Structure 1
């Protein structure tokens, strides 16, 4: 029997967390297990790093951090790996379907976005799909995401193809470098060595076929990644 999909639930409303836990408990036999909960940014980052789940159900609006809610959680954990050695994947679960919320968490690294009107069966299916690496959106948001990014489906596929060449850590380094951070500032921000930063930057430039930090900044700005 395969291992269950380990899930951390992040939401600032205790009763909502309790309800989701209860609903998903019925899915446990099908391989879903909630291994941790958190009500705010700091607790979420701590629990996620400790538990190394496969999927994080992440509310968009949370107290704590730098005031960016779920985006702060993503920035703190997006490069973490699960106990299986796979990237920890994030599925936004929010009452909000506002464009700025959807865009922010997807750009920060979430694999999908569903609203809290979703039923337990569909939520369980979404969790499984995200765990497998799929991108998942509530039906009404699927078309909206394309519109929100201001591109035709083909253009988004092209951008995604380029971004998919980069690892999660390389994306973090790329965004900071494109914002004008110096190597030592990137190293301090991500708790890695300057040599590791240099290695990641070289890899990013090679994979994107760019030749300088200036070109990288232009590339990132053109895709509204910074």
Structure 2
């Protein structure tokens, strides 16, 4: 679930298509407009419009020419990994980890501290923001490039109420909003989900499950979860 300001202006063309095109450029790293049109089944004019709008966000750029297939060499569109940064927060039962990455997931800074998370939600809030600030300071880049924050929690998450964790797992957190302090301090979109679900997403993008759509991710720590 997203909170705070939008990282980029909304794209006027079909948002689903825009997301598909951006994801394709991210996965392929460099790809021509013609190949995007072939992959998506949309017309070249439509793809050119979408790509033009994405070029305006800075997330993609024209990065050179590809191989010719008998005509002019196509201009390649490349994803800009350094166009922004993301903070990731892992809230465990006894620790908090914060990582700063570029848009490819490359680590720019990382901090972890032990903390009695179950019994001290206010202290956890302060630690999360402190570690986030430390990571940004260590990176020493333009803070305006922070595009969002992802938070993994050891609890099921209701998409309609992502700011509330299940109190039978974290009783002291009853009525304590996870995201309020993050929104006020960093002023960027914040997403929250169950830690096992996000572990599955990470494996699907970068780990053992790349290219696999159906699998189960098991997290065994203080408790056991599946995503």
Query: TM-score, with normalisation over the residues of structure 2?
Result: 0.27
Larger CA Rg, structure 1 vs 2 = 2
More strand by percentage = 2
More helix by percentage = 1
Query: TM-score, with normalisation over the residues of structure 1?
Result: 0.27
